[in-house]
A and B are shown apart, each in its own frame.
Chain A
Amino acid sequence: MEAVPLDKLRAIVGPAHVLSGVDLSPYVVDGRTPETAVFPGSLDEVRAVVELAAGAAIPIVTWGGGTAASVGTPIAPDRPGMVLGLGRMNRLVEHEPGDLTATAEAGMAVAAFQTALRARGQWLSLDPPDPERATLGGVMAANAAGPRRHLYGGARDLVIGMTVIAADGSVVRAGGKVVKNVAGYDLPKLFVGSYGTLAVIVDVTVKLRPLPEEERLVSLRFERLKDAATATRALMASDLIPNALELLDPDAARVLDPSLPAHAMLVVGFDGLTEQVQWQCDELASLVGPLGGAGLKLLPPETWDRLGSVVAAALGGMPAAVMRLSVMPAQAGEVMEQAALAARARGLLTACAAHAGLGVVRTALFSPREGGEIAPVAAALADWRAIARGAGGHAVLEWAPLAVKSQVPVWDDAGAAGRIMQRIKAQLDPQNLLNPGRFVAGI
């Protein structure tokens, strides 16, 4: 095993942009410290770093804002490799409002990108958690999204092109700059959600939308979660066109409204012309009223960004684990109830919330006492995984301490599709250097 050639890296990116020793502490993941962290400032520098790593067989962990760095199977202790940070590559490359497209470097923070677009009346209809830190490239790699995915789709639906550095250091242009394009294979889809295991994303081109005239987020409370879940289905079958549809159990709901009694909450977003938003809010109230929904309330705009963290912030905010269950949308409410029951049977507490229209349920597990045991946590997570499978889906352990991760697989069984994924990985990264061992099917 070769040592990381720090001198060569310094020659590529400049001495100030190669970290070692205690400076590496922000990049420690699951207790493992990288061998170095390198911050290139241009595409050429990224390419040179990847080429160097390929030649010396050094693993690369690509790093944007670090918001999803802890997702994944723990890094192998024998060879943690180098962090390749893209924070210096944070420029808006191009925004042509007339084309409704924009290109930015991968290290640009989502919030900064949105600010630049908003100044010209447009936005990227993707709202990942922690947008001040999350970078455009990181959001693509982690397939991060927020409540507005309900109407506008996820990263895969909005990206039209990328420049990536392949594992051998070659520069590859995936997709293009036009909104409709079927020339060649749809490579951007391959890199979205690949967690840095197939290539290093250096810039991203996306489709944009005009800013809506008005946007509102409202909440309704329900005495029973079951009724709130029924309301989400009624809403889906109605003529309304919400841009977000969130279902919160009482403990998650109290993060948004501490004064709330033990009630479930339905959070619904609308955008469009003012009269459209108003009409939909009125319709919403009359639609869900008979189902037990009451107390229609306008939520402050900052609530949008808080929705992604309500489960982890519940019950004092020290979860023992956070899991993401992807199930059939109509079963989201039922899955939340089952998950809570299963955890309670193990003597644990929970908070659950769902992008109800998408069937994406996030559940956080809490020990009633500080320093709780690992065994019941691991058992409850296994229960949750079984519940997700029972509802036609799968579950990913989004966050847990190393002790839990060593007992519960982060990813669900990928079956036969997992073997195809392994073949893709072997083709694109034959040396297995890009974020090795952290993804689905051992990739």
Chain B
Amino acid sequence: MSTVTAAHKHVLRQELEAIVGRGGVLSDPDELLVYESDGLTMFRALADFVVFPTSVEHVSAIVKLANRESMPFVARGAGTGLSGGCLPSEGGIVISLMRMNRVLEVDYDNQIAVVEPGLVNLHLSWAVEPRGYYYAPDPSSQQACTIGGNIANNSGGPHTLKYGVTTNHVLGLEVVMPDGEIVWLGGRTRDAQGYDLAGVFVGSEGTFGIATKVVVRILKKPQAVKTVLAVFDAVPKASAAVSAIIARGLVPAAVEMIDQLTIQAVEDAFGCGYPRDAAAALLVELDGLRVGMEIQAERIVQACRDAGAREVRTARDEAERALLWKGRKSAFGAYGRISPAYMVMDGVIPRTKLPYVLERVNEIVAAHGLRVGNVFHAGDGNLHPNILYDPRKPGEEARVVEAGAEIMKLCAEVGGSISGEHGIGLEKADFMPLIFSAADLALMQRLKNAFNPTGLCNPGKVFPTKKSCVEVGPVAYRPHPIEEKGLAQRF
């Protein structure tokens, strides 16, 4: 609910239009509705304005105006986030970066690209693909999500097992600070001087300022890729295979696990060639030099067989590989066929705890009378239990929320984290005390004060409110409009 009077809102709209031009400001409640939530549709909040800047000067001027008015503001990319991180406060300004979506420069000699924050992740790889390069972080929403959003959440993806997450690929950022000042954090060289400001900015969930230019590393595409599918008749055997691969000193680009419920949903929906009666499947991808690829693939196959795989095969060609990945990346869409709604979790655990935690997750969900599908980054221990439910059945949503809270507690208990790549946002803010002490959070708050002393830049995120974990739970999933249209998948 806006705190601005209608008359003042009219004046502010004119001021914002003077900055970005006509057609760059939304303030009609009907138009604002589109921006009231992100991929986690349970949380909703209506802004006073959505503004579409096209330059850093625009962003700076909008931020200065917001400061003058003591209005909260938040940057927004494609809105595919899964933690409510880019939700406005009630009232305030949403600064959409979607019109700042250019690749400004590609420097192949130095293997960097300079891009605007609204650029879609996959479009960067497309831009450099003709010269044999790509951008490594590959969130499953990469057809829609933006580089700026990836910066805010320090996004991952299946191939981050080998290549690292967003922070490992960002060298520098031009940032509009929460007071409107334009500053470079890091730069174009591999080393910056002083504190690693770019390093702390990445993953700060939009609370340290707004990135307006980003310098990223681009990588040479590997000579060869090999994809192995291993099929198991028991989940613990699949978990054991993950450990066996690591124990043999192999470093795959990706190791993904898909359980039976998910396989059946995927096969019903798309028919990607996963055996429907399997308890679990592992999708293992190797990349690198052509030389030695066969030997490494053979070692993966052997490790899976020794762990009790009933069938192991390698993709014969690019078409089969693409089909297997389609199955993996479409899993979330496929849940829609078997359940009216689901909630995706994002816990991380030490890899060795995988068999125990998977069993416990299934027990927890069953104890709440619900079903769970697991499709996740097994190689780095980043779980995505998807709790299926029907929001129309009374009490079911509350049970989902309880089960989700227990799963987060479980991840914390085994030495893990409550988020591997989706971020804390609003959703998990009250669960931060599960893994951080008051002193840990106090130091984070002091760091935030150095960037964002007024707190106007994306307020209410990351830090717990006064309420305890027991009182507030995560909220349940509803499909995002772009997901319903099949434009994006979550992972």
**Residues of chain A whose beta carbon lies under 8 Å from any beta carbon of chain B:** 96-101, 121, 153, 156-157, 166, 170-174, 176-187, 189-190, 192-194, 198, 209-211, 213, 233, 236-237, 239, 241, 272-273, 275-276, 279-280, 326-330, 358-360, 392-394, 396, 411-412, 414-418, 420-421, 423-424, 426-428, 439-441, 443
Contacts and interface: CB of A to CB of B under 8 A. Distances in A.
A153 B164 contact: yes
A392 B114 CA distance: 14
B199 A189 contact: yes
Interface in B167-204: 167-168, 177, 181, 183-185, 187-197, 199-200, 202-204
B446 A180 contact: no
Contacts of B246: 97-98, 100, 210
B154 A184 contact: no
B194 A441 contact: yes
Chain B binding surface, main DSSP class: loop
Nearest to B208: A185
Interface in B101-155: 107-111, 153-154
B247 A98 contact: yes
B108 A157 contact: no
B419 interface: yes
B430 interface: no
Nearest to B428: A183
B77 interface: no
Contact of A96 (B160, B289, B352, B450): B352
Chain B interface residue number, banded? 35 or more
B322 interface: no
A83 B450 CA distance: 28
Interface string B435-454: 11101111110111111000
A413 to B, nearest CB: 9
A327 B189 CA distance: 6
B188 A392 contact: yes
Contact of A326 (B164, B191, B199): B191
B350 interface: yes
B348 A239 contact: no
A186 B432 contact: no
A273 B291 CA distance: 9
Interface stretch (B65-73, B226-234, B275-283, B377-385): B377-385
B439 A166 contact: yes
Contacts of A392: 187-189
Contacts of A184: 424, 432, 436, 440-441, 444, 462
Interface stretch (B265-273, B387-395, B399-407, B410-418): B410-418
A439 B440 CA distance: 24
A177 B200 contact: no
A249 B175 CA distance: 38
Nearest to A169: B439
B478 interface: no
5 pairs of A and B residues whose beta carbons are closest in the complex: A189-B199, A210-B249, A440-B194, A330-B109, A326-B191
A225 B399 CA distance: 69
Contacts of B446: 427-428
Contact of B443 (A157, A179, A394, A428): A428
B469 interface: no
Contact of B196 (A192, A273, A280, A327): A192
Chain A binding surface, main DSSP class: mixed
B312 interface: no
B156 interface: yes
Given A99-B351, A416-B181, A180 B193 contact: no
A390 to B, nearest CB: 13
Given A190-B200, A416-B181, A177 B415 contact: yes
B381 A179 contact: yes
Given A280-B289, A416-B183, A273 B447 contact: no
A186 B199 contact: yes
Most interface-central of B202, B289, B424 (chain A CB within 10 A): B289
B164 A414 contact: no
Nearest to B203: A186
A178 B416 contact: yes
Given A185-B203, A190-B199, A190-B200, A279 B439 contact: no
Contact of A439 (B107, B108, B194, B419): B194
Contacts of B442: 170
A30 to B, nearest CB: 20
A276 B289 contact: yes
A189 B196 contact: yes
Interface in B189-241: 189-197, 199-200, 202-204, 220, 223
Contacts of A418: 194
A295 to B, nearest CB: 24
A424 B447 contact: yes
B445 to A, nearest CB: 9
A236 B188 CA distance: 17
A166 B443 contact: yes
B423 to A, nearest CB: 6
A359 B199 CA distance: 19
A185 B204 contact: yes
Most interface-central of B185, B291, B349 (chain A CB within 10 A): B291
Contacts of A213: 249
B38 interface: no
B347 to A, nearest CB: 9
Contacts of B109: 233, 236-237, 329-330
B292 interface: yes
Contacts of B167: 156, 186, 189
Given A177-B350, A180-B165, A237-B220, 7 more contacts: A178-B415, A189-B199, A190-B447, A414-B193, A417-B185, A421-B195, A423-B450
Nearest to B198: A189
B339 to A, nearest CB: 27
A183 B199 contact: no
23 contacts: A97-B247, A98-B247, A99-B381, A157-B168, A179-B348, A180-B377, A183-B418, A184-B436, A185-B448, A186-B203, A209-B251, A272-B292, A273-B292, A327-B189, A328-B188, A329-B109, A359-B191, A416-B183, A417-B192, A417-B194, A421-B195, A421-B197, A427-B450
B200 A186 contact: yes
B183 A417 contact: yes
A182 B420 contact: yes
A181 B348 contact: yes
B224 to A, nearest CB: 9
B421 interface: yes
A420 B183 contact: yes
B295 A180 contact: no
A200 to B, nearest CB: 13
Nearest to B421: A182
Nearest to A441: B194
A181 B419 contact: yes
Contacts of B187: 392-393
Contacts of B351: 98-100
B34 interface: no
B250 interface: yes
